[in-house]
Amino acid sequence: MDSFDKNVFINCSFDDDYRELLISLLFTVMYLGLNPRIALERFDSGETRINKILKLISESRFGIHDISKIVSSKKDEVFHMNMPFELGIDYGCTKLLKGQWETKRILILGREQYRYHEALSDLSGSDIKHHDDEAIKLVKVVRDWFICEVFNKGPSHKRIWYEYNDFMNDLSNKLTTQGYELDDLETAPIPEIMSYMQEWLNKNNN
Amino acid sequence: MFMSKRSTHHVVKSPDGGWDVKKGGASRKSGHFETKKKAESWGRKVSEKQRTELVIHGKDGRIQRADSHGKDPLPPKDKK
């Protein structure tokens, strides 16, 4: 696989209440030997966000788009429109571009199965996988999708989930030795956690 | 590098529903329980017997607490 075939563009909320889902999603993708790409990975402040997103999408064969946040859960909550916007760009790439982009595959995730068709009716007929805001379900949905789309067979979702829990314990110990306090663990930068994740997988998952 | 710390047992959300107890590094469960409370109770007994650290996870995998029942191979350094 070259880098395009291993890159997975992750389009989701970066809010605190999605953080644990994001970490479990990143772990699952990396556990399967793939390379998650997220907008948080690049800190070039001179680059506009949309150009950053376009580059990530164009470099990734796979796109995982969690549109849970397009439907507000509380009164007066602001809709997050970046997710459907970026999903549209990725979808356009698969349909309008030639060459390697014709091989792109897209996984659409949501909290509930049928909640989004009203807000985003263009998706009618599309298969949206749901995770009920539970990391354990997200791991299974993402793992099963990649097995069906790419690998045909692979480690079970149970194994990935158990090892994810092992990783979380080792991460907690590791960050503590790096000077983080327990309360800080919720705020460690995602790219730093991804770096530890890769190191842990290299050590534990040959 | 990630250092191997002490041996552990973990109480984790079960992929089959309920809660599991598993040994650290194991890809199979040691015990399965309907409730987290029962899993913790059984896990504590096993952990005490095997002198391991019992790590309690939340349903999202986050660490809620850890109870040591064995000798810590990496004890805190005395800063005096």
What are the pLDDT digits (tens) for B45-73? 999 999 999 999 999 999 999 988 765 55
Q: Are A79 and A72 in contact (CB under 8 A)?
A: yes
Among chain A residues, the shortest Cα distance to B60 is held by A135
DSSP B8-61: EEEEEE-TTSSEEEEETT-SS-SEEESSHHHHHHHHHHHHHHHT-EEEEE-TTS
In the structure, what pLDDT confidence band is assigned to residue A15 with cuts at 50, 70 and 90? confident
User: Which of A 104-163 lie inside 8 A of B, CB atoms?
Assistant: 134-136, 140, 157-159, 161-163
- Altogether, the residues listed in chain B come to a count of 80
Q: How far is it, in rounded angstroms, from Cα B4 to Cα B44?
A: 21
A31 touches chain B (CB under 8 A): no
Locate A75 and state its tokens.
Answer: 């009164």
As a whole-number percent, the residues of chain B with pLDDT over 90 amount to 74
The predicted-structure confidence for A73-129, as pLDDT tens digits, reads as follows 677 777 778 899 999 999 999 999 999 999 999 999 998 876 666 677 777 767 889
In the structure, what pLDDT confidence band is assigned to residue A130 with cuts at 50, 70 and 90? very high
In angstroms, the first-to-last Cα distance of chain A is 17
pTM for the whole structure: 0.90
Shortest distance between the Cα of A101 and any Cα of chain B, in A, equals 34
Q: How far is it, in rounded angstroms, from Cα A128 to Cα A42?
A: 29
| pLDDT value, residue B77 | 45
- Residue A162: closest CA among A198, A205, A193, A194: A205
In the structure, what pLDDT confidence band is assigned to residue B5 with cuts at 50, 70 and 90? low
Domain A3-204 in CATH 3.40.50.300? The answer is no
- Measured between beta carbons, the chain A residues lying within 8 angstroms of B62 are 20, 168
Residue type at B53 in one-letter notation: E
